[in-house]
Amino acid sequence: MRLANKVAIVTGGGSGFGEGIAKRFALEGAAVVIGDLNLAAAEKVAGEINKAGHKALPVAVDVSQNKQMKSLVDKAVEAFGGLDIMVNNAGMPQRNAPLLETDEATFDKIFAVNVKSIYNSAMYAVPAMRKRGAGAFINIASTAGVRPRPGLVWYNGSKGAVITLTKAMAVELAPEQIRVNALNPVAGLTPMLKEFMGGQETEEMKAKFVSTIPIGRFSTPQDIANAALYFASDEANFITGVCMEVDGGRCI
Ligand SMILES: NC(=O)c1ccc[n+]([C@@H]2O[C@H](COP(=O)([O-])OP(=O)(O)OC[C@H]3O[C@@H](n4cnc5c(N)ncnc54)[C@H](O)[C@@H]3O)[C@@H](O)[C@H]2O)c1
């Protein structure tokens, strides 16, 4: 088992990529705290993990709120004795639209959920990892931060910030054996995709997206979980500051 005796938090673990990551980590021996705005979704995923004989704890959290992030980390440490892996996966999309059509409140919310969450998690996860003598952050950014699509300007920018924060945190925390890496998924068939397509998920729109991905399909939670597992495991203990595309060649 590649994550035996590790404790992981996966934000947004109630759906999509986060659910895939949480389930894969649990299978590999980690105790997983599933933090999600949607407590019922987190409870469902945690219930499935526990039923399969692994360890999971659902926690309600809004990752944009500093005190709620503190409570999430505290609950992980209380329940499982420490924290080794922090997956900042919870995020919010922008509905595809011309750049002048996004109102200020939506812009602020995108940056609070996608970017401030990284600050919030660092404040509490770094001290917990210091107590363990090592740790691994995995931030879920996006190909949007590397190769932006039109209509998603503010979301693209938020993911660009996640990529830069990943590298900046990595270089500062490296001497303490706390590694910080990011994954850049290409579009995946999760509930979020509809927003990236402007609120309508038609077969024609889906075909248009897939036509931009050389391997010829959408990403899956399994693709993202496999890559996250490598970054989280000790096999990657010399890997930090890497922002890796999981994109079937989209960014080439
Ligand atoms: N689906 C894609 O096409 C795609 C592509 C690239 C990157 N991403 C990124 O992957 C990550 C996961 O997205 P997904 O596609 O699995 O989405 P999803 O909609 O399936 O799941 C997102 C989860 O995050 C939770 N969440 C939302 N806001 C939250 C908050 N403030 N606090 C806590 N939890 C919150 C939701 O309740 C949901 O369970 C996001 O960061 C997203 O930006 C998605």
The tens digit of pLDDT for each residue in 158-177 reads 999 999 999 999 999 999 99
Q: What average pLDDT does range 212-217 have in this prediction?
A: 98
Determine what percent of the chain is predicted with pLDDT higher than 70: 100
230 catalytic? Reply is: no
For the CA of 185, the closest atom of ligand 1 is 6
CATH of the domain at 84: 3.40.50.720
Q: Answer whether residue 123 is part of any domain.
A: yes
Determine what percent of the chain is predicted with pLDDT higher than 90: 99
Q: What average pLDDT does range 102-121 have in this prediction?
A: 98
| Predicted local confidence at residue 62, as pLDDT | 99
Q: What average pLDDT does range 189-213 have in this prediction?
A: 94
pTM above 0.95, yes or no: yes
Nearest CA to ligand 1 atom 5: 187
For the chain, how many structural domains are there in total? 1
For the CA of 188, the closest atom of ligand 1 is 3
Q: Answer whether residue 194 is part of any domain.
A: no
The answer for residues whose C-beta is within 8 angstroms of residue 211's C-beta and 6 or more apart is: none
Q: Answer whether residue 85 is part of any domain.
A: yes
C-beta of 22 in contact with ligand 1 (< 6 A) = no
Nearest CA to ligand 1 atom 23: 12
CB burial class (10 A; 0-12, 13-18, 19+) of residue 13? buried
CB burial class (10 A; 0-12, 13-18, 19+) of residue 185? buried
| Predicted local confidence at residue 228, as pLDDT | 99
Parent domain of 52: 7-187+221-241
Q: Answer whether residue 225 is part of any domain.
A: yes
Angle at 14 between CA 25 and CA 23, to 5 degrees: 20
Q: What average pLDDT does range 100-108 have in this prediction?
A: 98
C-beta of 193 in contact with ligand 1 (< 6 A) = yes
Q: Answer whether residue 229 is part of any domain.
A: yes
Q: Answer whether residue 230 is part of any domain.
A: yes
Q: Answer whether residue 47 is part of any domain.
A: yes
Alpha carbon of 14 to ligand 1 centroid (Å): 9
| Predicted local confidence at residue 121, as pLDDT | 98
What average pLDDT does the structure give for the chain? Answer: 98
